[in-house]
Amino acid sequence: MLVELTIRRTAGEPLPASPVDGIRILALLPNEWRKDLKHVTGDIAIRVHTDEETTGARIRARVTEILTNPEVSDWELVNCRTLTNGRPENKEDMP
């Protein structure tokens, strides 16, 4: 399964585009997930490749749990879009 996670800061002032928080979040994600990090207008976008048996709901639940970690607790998951061939699967998933 391929999904794109959009993660947004919930507290404090927005910081300049720095990959540090994104790297912290990547480090907390499961090792078996293949991950690709990018910044999108102040948010963090992470593409995650998992095995075919993992559902979007499981990914969302796992990431939400990870974001309770004190190191990254000022970030929240705002979107978990399933992608097909690198594009949103459903029209409602498109920005």
Beta bridge partners of 82: 3
Place of tokens 């399964």: 1
Distance, CA of 70 to chain centre: 17
**Per residue of the chain (95 residues), what is the pLDDT tens digit?**
999 999 988 876 666 556 788 889 999 999 999 999 876 667 889 999 998 889 999 999 999 999 999 999 989 999 999 998 655 555 444 44
User: Would the pTM count as exceeding 0.85?
Assistant: no
17 phi, psi to nearest 5 deg:
-60, 100
Cα 91 from Cα 95, distance rounded (Å): 9
- Predicted local confidence at residue 16, as pLDDT: 58
Sequence spans of domains, the chain: 2-85
For domain 2-85, the CATH class is alpha beta
Q: In what order do the strands lie in the sheet with 43-49?
A: 34-40, 43-49, 2-9, 75-84, 87-88
